[in-house]
C-alpha cells in the first residue's frame, strides 16, 4: 500500500469514527439537551400537545392533560377550581410558556427529569407516549377553600396556612384570581386576547401573591422586635416599660405616636405583655433605638428575611429588613413595619410557625410526593429544618404574649374555644389613606397544629381590622382538629 492510499484510508476511518461519535452523541448523550433546547420549536409543540403529568390535591387533579379534539395537538392542558389554585399551578401556554408550579416542576411534569431516563428509553423503543410524573401537593382542599373564602371578592389579599412542625403548606391563596384555562388554549391568537383581558382586570398571571408580593407588614413585625428585646436580657414579659404618648425622633422634627385616642395613651408605663397586646408604638421604637439595628437584623434573618435562595419550589421574593446602616430615626420607624421594611405573607407565616414550633423554623413545603407513570415513588420530600431561630424559652414567652393579644388586645375578635396566639398589624400605604391589614398567628396556642397568616392590601382601616381577626378565627375553627 503506497503512502497516498494509506493516508486516504486513515482519513476515511477517522471521518467514519467522527460521524459515528456524533450520531451516538445526538442519540444518547446530548439527546435531552437538544430535545429541551429553547430553539427546538418541534419539541415545544410536541410537549405542549403531549400527555403532561397531573398536579394533584388530595388525589384529585387540579391540572391535567386530557385527549384533545384538535387536529394540531393530541392533548389539552385543563385546570380545575382555578380561582382557588391558579396562583399555585400557574399556566402552561403555547403563547406564554410556563409559570408557577408548571414551571418549577416542569422536568417532572414533562417527563424530562433525570429520574425518568429509563422510562424515556423504554418509550423510545416501544413508541409509547411520555405521560410525565404526577405531583401531589401538601394542600388540604378544605383549608384551601376556607382560606379563599376569607378573601372577599374585589379585595387584594393573601392567606397562608401551614403546619408548624413540618413546614407543609395546607393552604395558599390570593385574590384577585383568574382562569388559567384561558391561557392554555391551543390558539396563540386566542391566548393573547385572553391575556389582555386578564391583565386589564388587574390580575398578574405571572405572580403567586403570597410568595411574590412583599408589602409593609405593620405591627406584625413587632414579633421580631419583641424577640430581640427578650433576647437582650433588658426586657421581660412582666417588666414595666415607659409608654410615652409621643416619641421625638433624633436629628429630625418628626415624632412617633401611639394610635390616637387608643388605649396606649391611657398609661404612662405598663408591663411588656400589655404593651405587646395593645400594640403600642412608642415603646418598641425606643427599644429599637436603645438596642441598635444589629440585633433586630439578626433576628429577622434567622426567620428568613433577606434570603434570596428560598424556593418551595415556587420562587419566593426575599422579604426585606435593611442591612445597610440606617439612622436611629429611620430604625424607630422601620421596627413598626414601615419605611422600607417589606414582607410576604409566606414570610410572616414562617415567623408565626417558628414561634409555634418551639423556635424551630421548618422549610416551607408544597410538594407531598412525586410518582412516575407506573406510580413508583420518585421523590418524597421530608420535613427540613430551615433554622433554629430562637430558644424554646423565648418561644414560650412569645406564645404567652401572643395569646394575650387575642384575649385582651388588638385581636379580640379572634377569641374562640380554641386557644389562639396571634399578632395584628396595620401599615399605612403612602399618603392614600389606605392600609395593609395583617394578622399572623397559630392554634391551638398550647399544642399548635396550624400557623395562619392573612393580609389585606390597600384597604380601608375599618374594613381590614374587622376582617383579619375574624377570619383568622374562622380558618382556625374550620381546620384545627378539635
Whole-angstrom distance, CA of residue 394 vs CA of residue 194: 51
Q: List CB contacts of 420: < 8 A, sequence separation 6 or more.
A: 403, 406, 411, 414, 441, 442, 443, 444, 445, 472, 473, 476
Catalytic residue among 110, 162, 174, 219: 219
Whole-angstrom distance, CA of residue 101 vs CA of residue 312: 10
**Is residue 88 within 8 Å of residue 158, measured between CB atoms?**
no
Residues constituting the chain = 482
For cell 402552561, name the residue.
92
Question: What does the DSSP assignment read for 74-94?
Answer: SEEEEESSHHHHHHHH--EET
Beta carbons within 10 angstroms of residue 429's beta carbon: 14
Whole-angstrom distance, CA of residue 192 vs CA of residue 159: 30
**CA distances (Å), 436 to each of 319, 329, 330, 468, in order?**
16, 22, 20, 11
Whole-angstrom distance, CA of residue 49 vs CA of residue 43: 10
Asked if 86 is an active-site residue, the reply is no
Element (H, E) at 288: helix 281-291
**Is residue 237 within 8 Å of residue 400, measured between CB atoms?**
yes
Beta carbons within 10 angstroms of residue 317's beta carbon: 18
Dihedral sign for Cα 400, 402, 406, 410, please.
positive
The residues assigned a catalytic role are 219
Amino acid at each position: 500500500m503506497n503512502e497516498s492510499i494509506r493516508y486516504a484510508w486513515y482519513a476515511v476511518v477517522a471521518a467514519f469514527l467522527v460521524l459515528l461519535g456524533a450520531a451516538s452523541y445526538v442519540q444518547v448523550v446530548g439527546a435531552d439537551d437538544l430535545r429541551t433546547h429553547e430553539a427546538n420549536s418541534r419539541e415545544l409543540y410536541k410537549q405542549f400537545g403531549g400527555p403532561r403529568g397531573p398536579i394533584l390535591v388530595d388525589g384529585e387533579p387540579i391540572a391535567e392533560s386530557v385527549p384533545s379534539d384538535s387536529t394540531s395537538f393530541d392533548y389539552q392542558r385543563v385546570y380545575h377550581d382555578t380561582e382557588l389554585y391558579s396562583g399555585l399551578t400557574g399556566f402552561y401556554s403555547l403563547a406564554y410558556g410556563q409559570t408557577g408550579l408548571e414551571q418549577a416542576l416542569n422536568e417532572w411534569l414533562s417527563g424530562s427529569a433525570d429520574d425518568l431516563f429509563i422510562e424515556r428509553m423504554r418509550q423510545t423503543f416501544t413508541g409509547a407516549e411520555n405521560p410525565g410524573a404526577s405531583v401531589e401537593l401538601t394542600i388540604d382542599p378544605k383549608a384551601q377553600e376556607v382560606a379563599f373564602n376569607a378573601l372577599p371578592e374585589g379585595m387584594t389579599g393573601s392567606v397562608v396556612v401551614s403546619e408548624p412542625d413540618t413546614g407543609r403548606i395546607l393552604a395558599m391563596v390570593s385574590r384577585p384570581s383568574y382562569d388559567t384555562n384561558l391561557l392554555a388554549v391551543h390558539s396563540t391568537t386566542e391566548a393573547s386576547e385572553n391575556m389582555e383581558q386578564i391583565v386589564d382586570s388587574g390580575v398578574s398571571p405571572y405572580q403567586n401573591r403570597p410568595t411574590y408580593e412583599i408589602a409593609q407588614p405593620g405591627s406584625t413585625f413587632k414579633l421580631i422586635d419583641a424577640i430581640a428585646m427578650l433576647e437582650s436580657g433588658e426586657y421581660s414579659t412582666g417588666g414595666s416599660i415607659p409608654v410615652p404618648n409621643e416619641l421625638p425622633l433624633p436629628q429630625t422634627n418628626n415624632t412617633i405616636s401611639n394610635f390616637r385616642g387608643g388605649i396606649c395613651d391611657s398609661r404612662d408605663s405598663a408591663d411588656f405583655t400589655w404593651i405587646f397586646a395593645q400594640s403600642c408604638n412608642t415603646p418598641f421604637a425606643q427599644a429599637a433605638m436603645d438596642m441598635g439595628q444589629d440585633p433586630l437584623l439578626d433576628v429577622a434573618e434567622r426567620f428568613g428575611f433577606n434570603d434570596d435562595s428560598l424556593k418551595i419550589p415556587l420562587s419566593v421574593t426575599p422579604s426585606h429588613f435593611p442591612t445597610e446602616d440606617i439612622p436611629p430615626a429611620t430604625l424607630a420607624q422601620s421596627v413598626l413595619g414601615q419605611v422600607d421594611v417589606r414582607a410576604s405573607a409566606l414570610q410572616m407565616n414562617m415567623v408565626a410557625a417558628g414561634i409555634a414550633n418551639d423556635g424551630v423554623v421548618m422549610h416551607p413545603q408544597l410538594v407531598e410526593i412525586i410518582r412516575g407513570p407506573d406510580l413508583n415513588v420518585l421523590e418524597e420530600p421530608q420535613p427540613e429544618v430551615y433554622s433554629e431561630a430562637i430558644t424554646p424559652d423565648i418561644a414560650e414567652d412569645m406564645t404567652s404574649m401572643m395569646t394575650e393579644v387575642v384575649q385582651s388586645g388588638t385581636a379580640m375578635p379572634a377569641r374562640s374555644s380554641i386557644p389562639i396566639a396571634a399578632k395584628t398589624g396595620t401599615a399605612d400605604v403612602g399618603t392614600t389613606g389606605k392600609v395593609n391589614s395583617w394578622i399572623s398567628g397559630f392554634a391551638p396556642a398550647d399544642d399548635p397544629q396550624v400557623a395562619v397568616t392573612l393580609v389585606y392590601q390597600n384597604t380601608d382601616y375599618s374594613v381590614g381590622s374587622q376582617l383579619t381577626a375574624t377570619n383568622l378565627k374562622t380558618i382556625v375553627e374550620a381546620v384545627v382538629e378539635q
